[in-house]
């Protein structure tokens, strides 16, 4: 019987290509979709390898069984070859033939065992072995076998941590497997790897990372949400990012109102619920001018139906609320006895669009002992931002510390998007 030549073995390796790497369409954070995939063959290089003299016959017998599709006898042939294998090359060649048989039978467990044996042989370098595991992960992912896909991608990234695509698909597999907290770490690494390589991470990558972080109540959720809206500013990213922050942090009325003001500035008030929250919180702080202005804007945008059940009583109630005039605010400023009074008057000027007067009052309020200076700085930054003073707003937001700093960071993202 003729000994298998290195060329023949190379052809065996080429024929027994690894499973394809998935080109996976990420599910939207707001809805799950079935994955779709294309395939790209991944295989190790075909080194010039010869079996040992002791194992050659058994390996040839195994190859013959695989080539003849005599799969019933392949397990016995594999076992026989493994008994006489003495070199890493022997083990590699046996594993490659085992992989060929597993691929032909669509035996994913057999593929996994074969790839583990290829990796253990040490014949194939780490990068190529990582490609093989990524291919296996793609096969599992396309079959919606998410825990198995995650296990394969974990092996791939352990061998090649800089493979951002394997990191991304690992994160998706973990997410789909319900391991949301673990998915966050993998997706963050994928984002970091893309960024380090000078590539802009896809918006879908940010979306699924934010969803995983939100679902797992991860401390990374707020920062990922901000990264998303910075990279892809839109009404959708603004609304969802603010919703993530509010859902996880349950901010007080003051902070919620400041976030709704931000959505208004960013042009991201799009749903009736957005307007309802804004109007209710402004009214709760007796800022009826602002509440009325937001209500009017929602009606003009045809987002609010004033005759609808959800807003009919609100529209009626707002008509009965007193609205301050500029003269009223000027008189109130002269008689204000506390810093909080000055702050609230500043908020009313802000609602009227008189940002210069609002800034003046916020500065005065900041010096008073009864005012949280971080609230005053935040509101000053908001007025400066709406006035178009990018440098002044940036300085004000950067000076905010404590619980209000997260809201300031969202406003700072808005400022940085302005020309």
Same domain, 116 and 38: yes
Same domain, 186 and 258: no
Q: Which residues pair with 311 in a beta bridge?
A: none
202 and 242 assigned to the same domain: no
On the question of pLDDT at 35 being above 60, the answer is no
Task: Name every residue whose Cβ is closer than 8 Å to that of residue 160 and which is 6 or more positions away in sequence.
Answer: 126, 127, 130, 166
CA distance 253 to 147: 42
Task: Please report whether residue 148 resides in a domain.
Answer: yes
Residue whose entry in the numeric block shows the structure tokens 């990191």: 167
Continuous H helices in 197-338: 203-215, 221-231, 235-249, 253-265, 272-284, 288-300, 312-319, 326-335
Q: What is the C-alpha separation between 208 and 240, in angstroms, rounded?
A: 12
In angstroms, rounded to a whole number, what is the distance separating the alpha carbons of residues 286 and 345?
A: 11
Specify whether 240 is located in the same domain as 211.
no
> Same structural domain for residues 134 and 264?
no
Residue 141 lies in a domain: yes
**Do 108 and 201 lie in a common domain?**
yes
Return the percent helix, strand and coil in the chain, to nearest 5: 70, 0, 30
Tell me, yes or no, whether 127 and 276 share the same domain.
no
Domain co-membership, 257 together with 386:
yes
Q: What is the CATH number of the domain that holds 90?
A: 1.25.40.10
Q: Are residues 320 and 252 part of one domain? A: yes
Give the pLDDT mean for 228-255.
95
If asked whether residues 147 and 279 sit together in one domain, one would say: no
3-state secondary structure of 31: strand
207 and 278 both lie in a single domain: no
pLDDT for the residue 282: 95
**What's the half-sphere exposure (Cβ side, CA atoms, 13 Å) at 343?**
22
Q: Mark whether 93 and 128 lie in a shared domain.
A: yes
pLDDT in tens, 178-193: 999 999 999 999 999 9
Closest CA to 379 of 240, 291, 371, 326: 371
- What is the reported pLDDT for 419? 64
Per-residue model confidence (pLDDT) at position 230: 94
Instruction: Tell me, letter by letter, the H, E, C secondary structure of 250-267.
Output: CCCHHHHHHHHHHHHHCC
**DSSP label of 403:** G
Domain containing residue 102:
6-215
pLDDT of residue 8: 25
DSSP 86: -
- Confidence label for 52 from pLDDT (cuts 50, 70 and 90): very high
Structure confidence by residue, pLDDT tens digits, 265-296: 999 999 999 999 999 999 999 999 999 999 99
- Can you give the pTM of this predicted structure? 0.79
| Tally of domains in the chain | 2
């Amino acid at each position: 019987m003729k000994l298998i030549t290195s060329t023949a073995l190379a052809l065996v390796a080429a024929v027994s290509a690894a499973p394809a790497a998935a080109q996976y369409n990420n599910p939207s954070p707001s809805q799950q979709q079935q994955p779709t995939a294309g395939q790209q063959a991944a295989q190790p290089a075909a080194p010039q390898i010869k079996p040992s003299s002791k194992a050659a016959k058994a390996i040839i017998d195994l190859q013959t069984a695989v080539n003849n599709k005599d799969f019933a006898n392949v397990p016995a042939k594999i076992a026989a070859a493994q008994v006489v294998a003495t070199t890493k090359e022997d083990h590699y060649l046996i594993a490659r033939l085992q992989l060929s048989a597993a691929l032909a039978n669509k035996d994913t467990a057999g593929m996994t065992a074969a790839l583990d044996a290829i990796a253990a042989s040490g014949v194939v370098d780490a990068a190529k072995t990582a490609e093989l595991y990524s291919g296996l992960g793609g096969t599992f992912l396309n079959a919606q076998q998410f825990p198995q896909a995650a296990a394969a991608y974990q092996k791939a990234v352990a061998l090649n941590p800089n493979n951002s695509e394997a990191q991304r698909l690992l994160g998706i597999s973990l997410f789909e497997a319900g391991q949301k907290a673990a998915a966050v770490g993998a997706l963050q690494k994928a984002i970091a790897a893309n960024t380090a390589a000078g590539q802009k991470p896809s918006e879908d990558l940010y979306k699924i990372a934010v969803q995983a972080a939100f679902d797992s109540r991860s401390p990374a959720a707020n920062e990922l949400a901000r990264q998303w809206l910075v990279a892809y500013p839109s009404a959708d990213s603004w609304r969802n990012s603010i919703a993530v922050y509010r859902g996880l942090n349950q901010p007080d009325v003051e902070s919620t109102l400041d976030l709704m003001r931000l959505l208004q500035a960013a042009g991201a008030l799009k749903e009736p619920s957005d307007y309802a929250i804004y109007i209710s919180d402004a009214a709760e702080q007796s800022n009826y001018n602002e509440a009325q202005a937001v209500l009017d804007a929602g009606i003009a945008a045809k987002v609010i139906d004033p005759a609808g059940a959800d807003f009919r009583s609100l529209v009626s109630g707002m008509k009965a609320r007193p609205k301050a005039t500029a003269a009223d605010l000027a008189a109130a400023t002269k008689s204000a006895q506390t810093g909080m009074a000055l702050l609230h008057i500043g908020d009313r000027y802000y609602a009227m669009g008189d940002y210069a007067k609002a800034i003046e009052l916020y500065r005065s309020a900041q010096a008073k002992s009864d005012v949280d200076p971080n609230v005053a700085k935040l509101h000053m930054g908001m007025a400066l931002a709406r006035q178009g003073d990018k440098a002044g707003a940036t300085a004000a937001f950067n000076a905010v510390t404590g619980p209000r700093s997260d809201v300031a960071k969202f406003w700072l993202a808005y400022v940085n998007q302005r020309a």
